[in-house]
Amino acid sequence: MNATPAKNVDSAEIIGHFINNADVADDNRPQPVSNPATGQVTKHVAMASQQTVEDAIAAAEAAFPGWRNTPPAKRARIMFRFKQLLEEHADEIAAAITDEHGKVVDDAMGEFGRGVEVVDYACGIPELLKGEYSKNVGPGIDSWSDFQPLGVVAGITPFNFPAMVPMWMYPMAIACGNTFVLKPSEKDPTAPMLAARLLKEAGLPDGVFNLVNGDKEAVDTLLNDDRVQAISFVGSTPIAEYIYSTGTKNGKRVQALGGAKNHAIVMPDADIDNAVNALIGAAFGSCGERCMAISVAVCIGDEVADSVVSKLQAEIAGLKVGSGTDVSNHMGPLITDAHFEKVRNYVDLGVEEGADLVVDGRGLVVEGLEDGYFLGPCLFDNVTEDMRIYQEEIFGPVLCVVRAESEEQAMQLINDHEYGNGTCIFTRDGEAARYFADNIQVGMVGINVPLPVPVSYHSFGGWKRSLFGDLFAYGPDSVRFYTRRKTITQRWPSGGVREKAQFAFPGRQ
């Protein structure tokens, strides 16, 4: 490889790359990494050059023949060991998430745990890769199918879940027999790097998993290299569409998960207190930087809306915002100063558009952390569907209340929206819940569950412009995405019988 091993990445306060089970330095355009609670730069991360990305792809390509022929049971044993090591280093990885993303440490541990669940699922790969077998489909003819890996595959992941979202991808990909190149977010790179080193410690062979930090140059290299067979992506819809169109144009299999505008319907018969508590956590947890965050509450009738808004105001008043390292805090900062300005500008826009700003978090100052990227919870009432704060993904602690006259009207709002990631309904009425679940045009639905994120043995994904591609992330769909089905039909003539040529298309006999 052309890139040289880093002498000591940590002591130099620069994060490089991980290729062929070794730290690799590449001092190409280093970018600062800040602690969002303090606003202070804590380290730098190198942006991989095209050559470094190509080196990672080459390492993965060289490792593929040996890895694809490794028995699935042996791959599973490595996954078991990796899972054990992750759990042993949980505090370290969660602390890295909090330091670089800003989310409260309990939330970081929750993210980490959901990622480990996918590793747990990958440990069952011998069962998941079992094919189908049919004996005597014809005279002396047997037929079966198996699932074969694609080759070199890649993942491009966002800043909001630096541990979990990469683990949605690479554990299943490599368990299926592929080799992997990960391009994580450059905003919080430490957690995925720690996991990469644990994979090595778990016994994963050189080149099976590689990590390159970078920006668009690295992304475009992965998209345009013929050796990369498939791309998994999670991020904003404009970038997801770019990834999908470019990757598929280049003949790659692509799953690209995009943005969201998740609605919660509050019915008149709902337990309002429980619904409000659920909305508080779903809207403001992780400072709203979740693709499954509830950002719109659709209240059926003015009486319900007035009650919900009043109770939300009271609950928001009790929320504590500050450093994620303080376990008594409910919210930490936004990820960067630029993202802070973007979200605050959306709040300004909502006021200009005529929505009622019931709770204004723009003036929040956290004592001792005045340079941090803190924005308090914001609550808008009387939001209408023509407003940009309703139409666009804000990705911050902003909850919009929309008033509707009926469940049908509320559902029409959701079905008309360009995004279809997640949604939920709060009700005691089984008939209303069933109608909602059957007819809403959204990929993940909750009934009195505000964040209906599927567990690891189901699959995660939205509809409409929240997903580009046919298959969801992790769960059963991940086996389908990271493998190709091959069907084999065989016959062994016996008895020395000379067979005649057959010109008719073969059928059942």
pLDDT of residue 508: 57
Q: Are residues 365 and 476 in the same domain?
A: no
Q: How many domains does the chain have?
A: 2
pLDDT of residue 483: 98
In the chain, what is the straight-line distance between the N-terminal and C-terminal CA atoms, in Å?
57
Q: Are residues 157 and 266 in the same domain?
A: no
Q: Are residues 483 and 371 in the same domain?
A: no
What pLDDT digit, counting tens, does each position of 39-53 carry? 999 999 999 999 999
Q: Does residue 458 lie within any of the structural domains? A: no
115-129, 138-152, 154-168, 338-352: segment of lowest average pLDDT: 138-152
121: domain CATH number is 3.40.605.10
Structural domain containing residue 178: 4-258+466-487
What's the Cα-to-Cα distance from 205 to each of 196, 197, 201, rounded to whole Å? 12, 12, 10
Check pLDDT > 60 for residue 333: yes
Cβ-contact 373, 342 below 8 angstroms: no
Q: Are residues 121 and 84 in the same domain?
A: yes
134-138, 173-177, 496-500: segment of lowest average pLDDT: 496-500
Q: Are residues 268 and 156 in the same domain?
A: no
Q: Does residue 141 lie within any of the structural domains? A: yes
pLDDT of residue 5: 37
Cβ-contact 373, 102 below 8 angstroms: yes
Cβ-contact 155, 185 below 8 angstroms: no
395: domain CATH number is 3.40.309.10
Check pLDDT > 90 for residue 234: yes
pLDDT of residue 26: 79
Cβ-contact 167, 191 below 8 angstroms: no
Cβ-contact 459, 414 below 8 angstroms: no
3-class SS of residue 157: coil
Q: Give 435-444 contacts, CB < 8 A, sequence gap 24+.
A: 435/407, 436/265, 436/407, 436/411, 439/411, 440/411, 440/414, 440/415, 441/414, 441/415, 442/414, 443/467, 443/472, 444/292
Q: Are residues 315 and 355 in the same domain?
A: yes
Q: Does residue 452 lie within any of the structural domains? A: no
265-279, 309-323, 333-347, 491-505: segment of lowest average pLDDT: 491-505
Q: How far apart are CA 63 and CA 48, in angstroms?
A: 21
What pLDDT digit, counting tens, does each position of 363-390 carry? 999 999 999 999 999 999 999 999 999 9
Q: Does residue 496 lie within any of the structural domains? A: no
Which residues, in sequence order, are bridge partners of residue 484?
Answer: 148
463 closest CA partner among 424, 418, 433, 425? 418
Check pLDDT > 80 for residue 227: yes
State percent of the chain over pLDDT 90: 91
Q: How far apart are CA 159 and CA 103, in angstroms?
A: 11
Q: Are residues 233 and 381 in the same domain?
A: no
Q: How far apart are CA 110 and CA 290, in angstroms?
A: 13
Catalytic sites, residue numbers: 291
State percent of the chain over pLDDT 70: 96
Cβ-contact 254, 228 below 8 angstroms: no
Q: Does residue 454 lie within any of the structural domains? A: no
Q: How far apart are CA 292 and CA 334, in angstroms?
A: 16
Cβ-contact 61, 151 below 8 angstroms: yes
Q: How far apart are CA 158 and CA 266, in angstroms?
A: 31
Cβ-contact 163, 194 below 8 angstroms: no
What pLDDT digit, counting tens, does each position of 176-216 carry? 999 999 999 999 999 999 999 999 999 999 999 999 999 99
Separation of CA 235 from chain center: 8
Check pLDDT > 60 for residue 3: no
Check pLDDT > 90 for residue 495: no
Q: Are residues 156 and 189 in the same domain?
A: yes
What pLDDT digit, counting tens, does each position of 411-456 carry? 999 999 999 999 999 999 999 999 999 999 999 999 999 999 999 9
Q: Are residues 153 and 171 in the same domain?
A: yes
**Burial of residue 240, with CB atoms counted within 10 A of its CB: 0-12 exposed, 13-18 middle, 19 or more buried:** buried
What pLDDT digit, counting tens, does each position of 4-19 carry? 333 343 444 899 999 9
* Mean pLDDT over each residue of the chain, to the nearest integer: 94
CA 201, 202, 206, 208 dihedral sign is negative
Q: Does residue 105 lie within any of the structural domains? A: yes
pLDDT of residue 61: 98
Q: Are residues 243 and 125 in the same domain?
A: yes
Instruction: Please report which confidence band the pLDDT of residue 27 belongs to, taking 50, 70 and 90 as the band edges.
Output: confident
442 closest CA partner among 296, 275, 251? 296
3-class SS of residue 359: strand
Q: Does residue 175 lie within any of the structural domains? A: yes
Cβ-contact 445, 264 below 8 angstroms: no
What pLDDT digit, counting tens, does each position of 394-410 carry? 999 999 999 999 999 99
Check pLDDT > 90 for residue 1: no
What pLDDT digit, counting tens, does each position of 58-90 carry? 999 999 999 999 999 999 999 999 999 999 999
Q: Are residues 242 and 341 in the same domain?
A: no
| Strands of 332-443, DSSP E | 356-359, 378-381, 398-404, 419-420, 422-426
Q: Are residues 242 and 196 in the same domain?
A: yes
Q: Does residue 391 lie within any of the structural domains? A: yes
3-class SS of residue 268: coil
